[in-house]
Structure 1
Amino acid sequence: MASNNSITRFVRLPDLISLGNGVLGILSIICSIHHYTDLAVLAIVLAGVLDFLDGRIARRMGLASPFGVQLDSLCDICSFIVAPAIFAYTMDSIDVTIRIALVIIYLIAGLLRLARFNITGTLDNGKYFEGMPVPFSIAIVCSYFLFTYFGLPLLIWMALYFIHAFLMVSTLKIRKL
Structure 2
Amino acid sequence: MSCPQASCWAQGTPVCTHVAYPGLEEKDKVGNADTECQEPHAPGPNQCTNFFLDHDKSQPQLDEFSWKDVANALSLANMVLGLFSIFCSVCKKPHCASWLLLISFLLDVAVGAMTRHLKVCSKSGAELNDFAAFTTFGLASALLLRVDGPLSGFLAIIYVLATSFRLCFYSAEVPFTHKGLPCPYASCVLASTSLLTKGNTFILCCMASLMILFMLDQSYYPHDEILGSENWKKMIYLGGVIMLFLSPFSLTPFYCLMWSLSYIFFPDALWGKAACLRSQHQGN
Pick the TM interval, shorter chain. Answer: 0.7 to 0.9
1:107 lines up with 2:164 in the alignment: no
Contact 1:24 1:47 in 2 (8 A): yes
Corresponding residue for residue 132 of structure 1? 181
Which of 145, 149, 167 is the matching residue for 2:195? 145
C-alpha distance in structure 1 between counterparts of 2:203 and 2:116, whole Å: 39
**What RMSD in Å do the two structures reach over aligned CA positions?**
2.1
Task: Report Cα offsets for 1:33-63 as digits up to 9, x if no partner.
Answer: 1122221111111111221122333344442
Unmatched segments (≥5 aa) in structure 2: 1-67, 225-284
**Structure 2 counterpart of 1:4:** none
Query: Which structure has the greater CA radius of gyration?
Result: 2
Q: How does 1:7-22 map to 2 (within 5 A)?
A: 12-22=69-79
Answer yes or no: is the 8 Å Cα contact 2:81–2:100 preserved in 1: yes
Q: Residues 60-84 of structure 1, C-alpha deviation per residue, up to 9 Å, x if partnerless?
A: 4442211111111100001101001
> Counterpart amino acid of 1:145?
L
**Contact kept? 1:15, 1:71, Cα under 8 Å:** yes
Establish whether residue 79 from structure 1 lines up as the match of residue 136 from structure 2.
yes
Aligned counterparts of 1:49 and 1:155: Cα–Cα separation in 2: 26
Instruction: Spell out, residue by residue over 1:81-139, the C-alpha distance to the aligned partner (whole angstroms, 9 max, x if none).
Output: 1001112135x5xxx0011111111011110000024xx2x34311x211111112112
Once residues 122 and 161 of structure 2 are traced to their aligned partners in structure 1, the CA distance between those partners, rounded to angstroms, is 26
The residue identity in structure 1 corresponding to 2:189 is A
Residues matched between the structures, number: 157
Matched, 1:28 2:75: no
The normalised TM-score by structure 1 is: 0.79
Which SS does the other structure have where 1:124 is aligned? coil
The structural deviation recorded for 1:18 is 0.1
Residue in structure 1 matched with residue 207 of structure 2 by the alignment: 160
| Worse-superposed segment, 140-149 or 12-21 | 140-149
Once residues 179 and 222 of structure 2 are traced to their aligned partners in structure 1, the CA distance between those partners, rounded to angstroms, is: 9
Tell me the TM-score normalised to structure 2 length.
Answer: 0.51
Q: Whole-Å Cα distance in 2 between the matches of residues 102 and 116 of structure 1?
A: 21
Structure 1 stretch displaced more, 43-52 or 75-84 = 43-52
- The 1:42/1:148 distance shift into structure 2, 3 A limit, reads closer
Q: Matches of 1:140 and 1:30 in 2, distance apart?
A: 17
Give the gaps of 5 or more residues in structure 1. Answer: 1-10
Aligned with 2:197: secondary structure?
A: helix
CA distance in 2 between counterparts of 1:56 and 1:132 reads: 17
Answer whether contact 1:12 1:63 (CA < 8 A) is retained: no
Specify the SS of the correspondent of 1:174: strand
Confirm or deny: 8 A CA contact 1:41 1:141 kept in the other structure: yes
